[in-house]
Amino acid sequence: MDRRLLKAAQKGNVGLLNDLIRSNELILEEAAVQGASHTPLHVACVAGHSNFVQELLKLMPKLAEKVNNDGFSPLHIAAARGDVEIVREILKAGRPQHLCLVKGRERRIPLHCAAANGEVGAMKELLSTSPESDEETTAREETALHLAVKNSWFDALVVLHKKEHVINWRDHKGNTTLHLAAAGKNFEAVKFMLRGHGLEYKTVEVNASNESGLTPLDVLTLSQSGAAGDGEMREILARAGTKHGRGRSNSPASSSLVLADEDSIEGDSSRRSDGEPVPDAPRSTTVPPPPRNKNEEKESLADIRNALLVVATLITSATYQAVLQPPSYKVKVDDSYKKSIFGCRGFNRESGYIVFMSGNTFGFFVSVQTIVCLTRDLPVRLPLLLSTYSMVLTYAAFMAYVPFTSMDKALSMKNVALFTTLPTTISILLLLTQNWWALCLDFILAIVSKRNIVGDMYNLSAKPDSQRIEQRVAKMKTHRMHLVRIWGEILEKMLSF
């Protein structure tokens, strides 16, 4: 493009423009053909010279449809700047419906640019010309309403919050505008959508789930930072009937929503076509997602699994060793007294053996089950699985052999079958009902812990209080002196007699 024409567009000098056209009638045609990214109309729109824009459109109306190399038409730039007068002039010059729906970079139309910058005046002009433009989506499946909420433009939200299917439209990550408002801690937007009029007409899907299975309430909870208004936002969502979704505990990182686009129209509209910055160009306000440290969470889970594996392996080793070297039941006792301390003869060596083997086998099976569950996602889990079940088979073989080594009398086949099958049956029944037994045990431990029998003896976070220890020592000394004085008085009275 001719340097003189570029200077005229930057300064808005209509007189110089007319002089250039008189000297060369094809100068505008040449500028349109030679540099599609550098038309005088684009430069004038960035600079905000409405008179120059009006004169250019009179001379060459088709300049309004030119899209530069960055993917922006003059209407995109005027809408992003919020220059209502230039927007009107461009819409008068050509086909207004077509101009409103011209797709720029990332498939953005002029309304998207105006909404992303909160330019309500330009939005109203575009919507009055093309009411259906609020249904158009970007390459990220975002409507103008998504962009307004994402960039925290409340007035733009009010203008666009009209159509039910637009309100509940989901972007490429499945997020509705309510998801974005909750993620950005936009209290004003959440309150308007659920109390303003959205809930009144039942238009907002309060339990919509995104691709991660998160509802707006999940997004607010996972991105919570203790900011003012968080509790009130959560209360508004709860009153509207919002519930937690299925993806809440899947991955903490799944709640991170993209609230700022790297390649947005706002950055480009803040510069002139010649590369110089425009001082009065509006800049977007973006809300970054809260930082998440995935490595720390993964390391924490890995540490927990390693600790559980160590404990389960120790229990497995102890129970397996108990079968290899069981307690001996060959002790000679006086059989003259036929009944036991419980009043019957049933609770004898045989009963003790069955109780021991049942409990030991149950502990062995539970620890093996824990090892299998904790290692099922490891790369070499199949060889580990084979070796574990081989150990279970050898354990079962030893169970059949133990009665012969533990008893001091000859056993019939009936007794051998009983001593082998009964502990196995009892342990399997306990294994099938392990969830119930675990809940009962946890309940009992909770009751015992409330009694605070052991105090802080097993509290890892408890620190010794030196002042309390000194008080106890002083009290013990006082008691000791008091006892010495009492015994002294008693001895003195005894000697006086």
Domain boundaries, the chain: 294-331+346-450, 466-497
User: Long-range contacts of range 92-97, CB-CB < 8 Å, 24 or more positions apart?
Assistant: 92/57, 93/57, 93/61, 93/64, 94/61, 94/62, 94/64, 94/65, 95/65, 96/129, 96/130, 97/129, 97/130
406-418 pLDDT tens trace: 555 556 667 767 7
Structure tokens at 448: 């015992």
376-417 pLDDT tens trace: 877 777 888 888 888 988 888 887 777 766 555 556 667 767
Binning pLDDT at 50, 70 and 90, where does residue 292 land?
very low
**pLDDT, average across residues 188-210:** 74
Predicted pLDDT of residue 272: 40
Closest CA to 160 of 195, 122, 186: 122
Would the pTM count as exceeding 0.75?
Answer: no
Contact 355, 286 (CB under 8 A): no
**Helices (DSSP H) in 37-176: which residue ranges?**
40-47, 50-59, 74-81, 84-93, 96-100, 110-116, 120-129, 144-150, 154-160, 164-167
Binning pLDDT at 50, 70 and 90, where does residue 127 land?
very high
Predicted pLDDT of residue 200: 47
22-41 pLDDT tens trace: 888 887 777 777 655 668 88
Predicted pLDDT of residue 75: 93
* pLDDT at residue 493 tops 70: yes
Binning pLDDT at 50, 70 and 90, where does residue 119 land?
very high
340-385 pLDDT tens trace: 444 444 446 677 778 888 899 999 999 999 998 888 877 777 888 8
